[in-house]
Structures are given as C-alpha cells and as structure tokens.
Structure 1
Amino acid sequence: MTEQPPSLPPGCIIRPARESEKWLLQKLLLQFTTSEALAFDLRIILLNFLILLLLGFFFIINIQLWILLKYFILIKFILEATIIFLFISLVVLTFGIILFLLSIFTYALVNWSRFWVIECNGTLVACGELHSSTTHSMLYYLFVTPVWRSQQLGSCLVKRLVQEAVQPLYLVCKPKLVQFYSQLGFVIVPWHDLSSPLQASFNIFKIDSKLTGISWAVMRYQS
C-alpha cells in the first residue's frame, strides 16, 4: 500500500521496493557508496588486506620452521596446529573480502525486499533499508539523490520506516548526521549499553573509529 505524506513534494510516494526495481535500487546504492561510504569501504578493505598479508607472512614463517625443526617432534606438532589455524584463517578472511567486494555491487539485488523507496514522477529518488528481527530493527542505507535533497524526503522516509520497524530501532551514523536523526526522535546509545549481538553488528564502525578517529554514533529511536 502506498502513502503520500503531506510534507512530500507533489507526485512523490513512499512504498516498499519491488523486485522489478532491484537494478534501479542497486544503482542508488552505488551512488550512496560513491558519495557517502567510499572512503569507509576502502579503509575496511585495506585493513582486511593488511591482516591477510600479516597472516600470510606468519603462515610462511611457520612452514619454514616446520621444515627446519624436523627433529623436534613436540615443536613440529605445535607448528602443524598453528599452520592449520593460519590456513583456515587465510581462507575465511579471503572469502570475507570477496563477499564484501561483491556486496558493494550486488547488495540490493539480493536484499531488495528490505528496502523502502520514494518514487517521484515515476523515478526512484530515495531509499532506506529496514532490517527487522523478532527483537529489534536496524536502519541502513538511507539515501536521497542530490537533486531531491532539502525537500524533507529523508525525514519522511525515516518516519515511515519507524512505523514499520520492530522496536527498538537502531542505526549508526557519522557525527554530521546526529542532529538530523535527533530531530526525528533518535538518541545516542553508549556502546556499553548495547547487547552483545548489536555490538557485533556495529563492531566494524568501532574498528573504523579507532583507525580514523571518526566518532560513529549508534542511535536508537525513542518514541
């Protein structure tokens, strides 16, 4: 069912995304990545590559030691266990990097049903992902195309997603967006107040904060 809040410009509606629009939705997400998240994604990829190189270095060193210490049975056993652990870690991390890279270009194609969009005069101009579980929801990928900004589209979309969400509703944002979300009823949640699953979900932003000093804010909707 579509809806046209009074504050939306004429000809604009908020509605769930359709499967037939997943390529258009993916195009919006690529715009989001280019304008809002490219630096973040590159940092995460670079960090994972550095970890991969470090693991590869220790893997080679342990193999060399295993070859050299052929008469030390106990040490060889420990080295064998270490080599197996490092090999599994290398495979898992490599697979994770590949999935992360693929997700940049295919995320909406797989997860289109989680998205709500704003359509204006037959064109998708804004989107937002609502990922709901039985206990809470998370808001991701809120994006309005540049030519349609400053017309309350983002605010209207957030308000609608709040109505659709399983409460509590969480999101993570850059410091510059804290005021925007605060005006819509969101409050900052201290890291130690988050449950373990939520901390795991947002841990990538905590790591980025340590790398860059950017104070990513975790926020929760407070009715």
Structure 2
Amino acid sequence: MSPSNPCLPPGCVLRQADPRDRLEVKKILFQALNWDKIIYISIGFCLFFAPVLTVVLAIQLLICILVGASILFISYKLNILKYWVIECNSYIVAFGALYCHETHSTISRLYVKKRWRRKGLGSTIINFFIQKGTKPIYLSSLPNRVSFYTRLGFIPISCEKITKTSRAFRKSALVLMKYQ
C-alpha cells in the first residue's frame, strides 16, 4: 500500500510494523484493555482500605496477578512483524495483525484509537488484509462489531467448522467470522 493511499486522511500512511513499533503497540493494547485505570483504582483501594480490611488486600493481590498475566500475555503473543500500522503525523493511530498460512489467514487485534475512529482506518486495514491474505480469512469479533465486518464481506460461521478453535469459541462471547 502506498503512502498516498486515498482512503487515508492526509499525513497518514499504512506500513508494516517494525521492531521499533513494539513498545507503542503494546502500550496501546494495554490501554485498550483499560488495565491502567484498574491499576490506579487498585492502588487507591490498597492505600485507603488495606490497613483496615485484609479481604481488600487479597482482592488487590488478585487484580495485580491478573494485570501481570495480561501484560505477559500481550508481550508473549505480540509478533510485531505480523502487524501493519497506520501512522499519522509520526504517531501510530491504528493497527492490526495478519497471520498468513498455506490454507488460510487470520486477522487479529484490529484497533483504532478512539480519536481516529469513523475515518475509514479500520476498513483500510481490513481491505488491505483481504488483498494480501490467503483465502479464506478468519477473525473473531465482539458481537457489537459484527456489522462492521459484515459490511466488509465477512460472514459469521459456526465454530464447529474449524476444529482447532471450536472448544475456545464455544466458551467465549466472540463471534467467529470468515471472508471467502
């Protein structure tokens, strides 16, 4: 995709992420999970209630473990070379990952910063992935995002059609989608 993509706002480019982008993408993913707010609230509870309530201390410990596990998960699973970013005026404002395999591709972690939403950035990344990926292309979506992906040509499918992911999707609230 060329830097002068007409679908992007002026000053924006779609490019493959490189190792220097890893920290910024991790930071955006962390903020998207709202863990930063949970940490601040947890610290506040600890400082205020911990001397009085030991139960609160146990809850805080559990929250800290969950936050730590999330950070480790994001760090471990983030293969930055599979990511494509939209950079506007030297800032990463959107990204997604495309994993191409011999028989199919998967799209993961599409994210657009709130301030940049409804400007076509997510659609631009998905359309680029559709052109670049091995068909069929799969993704999982939150129920409230299904209409977005449907407009781009994806259809919801039953998790029984893909045996490796069946068990995980049966227990989640995610919708498995496919682009032919």
**TM-score between both structures, scaled by the size of structure 2:** 0.74
| Aligned CA distance change for structure 1 residues 102 and 121 (closer, same or farther; 3 Å) | closer
Give the equivalent residue in structure 2 for 1:81. Answer: none
Number of residues paired by the alignment? 151
- Contact kept in structure 2, 1:117 and 1:124, CA below 8 Å: yes
Q: Is the 8 A contact 2:159 2:170 kept in 1?
A: no
Say whether the 8 Å CA contact 1:14–1:118 is kept in structure 2.
Answer: yes
Following TM superposition, by how much is the alpha carbon of 1:103 offset from its aligned partner in structure 2, in angstroms?
Answer: 3.5
Q: In the TM superposition, what is the alpha-carbon distance from 1:167 to its structure 2 partner?
A: 1.3
**What is residue 4 of structure 1 aligned with on the other side?**
4
Does the residue aligned with 1:10 lie in a helix, a strand or coil?
Answer: coil
Does the aligned pair in 2 maintain the 1:171–1:219 contact within 8 Å?
yes
Residue 107 of structure 1 deviates from its aligned partner by 4.1
The answer on 1:197 being equivalent to 2:164 is yes
Amino acid corresponding to residue 146 of structure 1 in structure 2: K
- Return the match for 1:145 from 113, 122, 133: 113
Q: Which runs of 5+ in 2 are unaligned?
A: 39-65
Structure number with the higher helix fraction is 1
- After superposition, the Cα gap between the structure-2 partners of 1:104 and 1:4, relative to the gap in structure 1 and judged at 3 Å, is farther
Correspondences of 1:1-223 after superposition (within 5 Å): 2-34=2-34, 101-107=70-76, 110-192=78-160, 194-199=161-166, 203-209=167-173, 216-222=174-180
Per-residue deviation, 1:162? 1.3
Q: State the distance in 2 between where 1:104 and 1:198 align.
A: 18
Q: Percent identity?
A: 33
Which protein is bigger by CA-based radius of gyration?
Answer: 1
CA distance in structure 2 between the partners assigned to 1:180 and 1:174 by the alignment: 10
Runs of 4+ in 1 over 4 A off after TM superposition: none
Shift of the 4–205 alpha-carbon distance from structure 1 to 2, 3 Å rule, reads farther
Task: Check whether the contact 2:99–2:106 (CA below 8 A) recurs between aligned residues.
Answer: yes
Q: Which of the pair has the greater relative contact order for Cα pairs under 8 Å at 6+ separation?
A: 1
